Structure 1
Amino acid sequence: MTPVLPLHSLGQRIVVLGPSNAGKPTLAAALGRKLDIAVVHLDQLHHQPNTNWVPRPREEFHALQRAAMLGDAWVMDGNYSGLFDERLARATGAIVLDDGHWQRTGRYLRRTLFEHHRIGSLEGNKDSVKWSMLHWVFVASRHNGARYRRTVAAAGLPHVFCQSLRQVRDLYAAWDLAWPYPAHRPAQKRERRP
């Protein structure tokens, strides 16, 4: 993980990037609660509610995304390349999550099969396991995290890169973020007594 910057150094418009199922919506929601700012899940703007991930028309998605980017303060998770440069130009800080493809594949199966009300899901969630999505998570997006890290570094934004769940948990602890899943709560640091 890159050194953990103080949370305030990322500013009030933070992009959270990373391959599919890396935990972007969960972190974005925790940041939004901590900073008391709007959270924008790009998956929810890109797809129509009450569907099994049916995309909106491109122009509609871009209009929704541009409207969200106009806000003074937000945390926005998602990668979508169509307006990626505009998003980075408007952002004041970035976080890139990138753990292993095995972990992300397991997370995809767990959330799709058992977490029907997960953070970032579509309204009226009708999700199902899709072979195309398994291929995307396990194979096609395997190296996207490295690409996002290079892009963010080149943009010159204050940033944090996490490459494992342990580093993400350390980030939650360093910034005193609320961990949303009690069964997977990071261990709290214990004070040593003299």
Structure 2
Amino acid sequence: MDTTFSLDDFGPRICIMGPSNSGKSTLAKAIASKQSLPLVHLDQLHHFPYTNWVPRKTEDFYQLHEEAICEERWIIEGNYTKCIQSRLKRATGLILLDVPVTTALWRYIRRCYSSKPRIGGLTTRRENVTWAMFKYIVHSAPKNHLGHRIIFEQATIPKLMLVNPSDIDACYQSWDI
């Protein structure tokens, strides 16, 4: 991990990207608390609350996304790359969690058996392990890996890529979050 970055280097509008179950929501919540930033979970904008991941109409999601990024201060976690460019135009910092599939799988299983509700989830109930999510983590999410890296490399704002759990832990320690 590049320990030369302080949280202040990322400014008042931070994007966190990465594969499902990489720790985006947890990191975003910790940073939001430390920096007093409003926290936006894109999954909660894209899906109706208290549903089993029922998506909103695309235009409704885009409207909610635009309203969120127009604010002066925020931390937004999630990918939704169809609208990433407008988000990055407003962002002052970018963090990419580029963790291995095995890490994402472990985090998913651990989350589903935790007694705590998922940070950034749609309900307050514990989620169940599903075959669909296993398939998504193993087959679909890795296909997005290259695209996320390209977005990261092209970004001209302060940015940090974390590629394993020890890098993420080092950030928590270094930033006292």
Q: Determine if the TM-score, normalized by the shorter chain, exceeds 0.5.
A: yes
Q: Percent identical across equivalent pairs?
A: 37
**Higher radius of gyration, 1 or 2:** 1
Structure 1 stretches of 5 or more lacking a match? 178-194
Shift of the alpha carbon at 1:112?
A: 2.6
Shift of the alpha carbon at 1:118?
A: 2.1
Matching residue of 2:176: 176
Retained in 1: the 8 A contact 2:117–2:126? no
Shift of the alpha carbon at 1:157?
A: 1.4
Matches within 5 A, 1:42-57: 42-57=42-57
Matching residue of 1:76: 76
Matching residue of 1:122: 122
- When normalised by structure 1's length, the TM-score is 0.84
Shift of the alpha carbon at 1:114?
A: 3.0
Matching residue of 1:94: 94
- When normalised by structure 2's length, the TM-score is 0.92
Partner secondary structure for residue 141 of structure 1: helix
Structure 2 stretches of 5 or more lacking a match? none
Retained in 2: the 8 A contact 1:51–1:124? no
Summarize deviations over 1:78-117 as a string: whole Å, max 9, x none: 0002211111111010000122101211211221343551
Distance (whole Å) between structure 2 residues aligned to residue 79 and residue 38 of structure 1: 18
Retained in 1: the 8 A contact 2:114–2:126? no
Query: Which letter does structure 2 place at the counterpart of 1:41?
Result: H
Summarize deviations over 1:144-171 as a string: whole Å, max 9, x none: 3443233122121111110011000001
Distance (whole Å) between structure 1 residues aligned to residue 20 and residue 4 of structure 2: 23
Retained in 2: the 8 A contact 1:50–1:126? no
Cα-Cα RMSD: 1.7
Retained in 2: the 8 A contact 1:50–1:125? no
Partner secondary structure for residue 21 of structure 1: coil
Query: Which letter does structure 2 place at the counterpart of 1:136?
Result: Y
Retained in 2: the 8 A contact 1:4–1:160? no
Matching residue of 1:181: none
Matching residue of 1:107: 107
Partner secondary structure for residue 49 of structure 1: coil
Retained in 1: the 8 A contact 2:46–2:61? yes
1:22 and 1:166, CA in 2 relative to 1: closer, same or farther beyond 3 A? same
Matching residue of 1:144: 144
Distance (whole Å) between structure 2 residues aligned to residue 173 and residue 143 of structure 1: 31
1:110 and 1:13, CA in 2 relative to 1: closer, same or farther beyond 3 A? same
Distance (whole Å) between structure 2 residues aligned to residue 110 and residue 96 of structure 1: 21
Matches within 5 A, 1:26-41: 26-41=26-41
Partner secondary structure for residue 16 of structure 1: strand
Runs of 4 or more off by more than 4 Å in structure 1? none
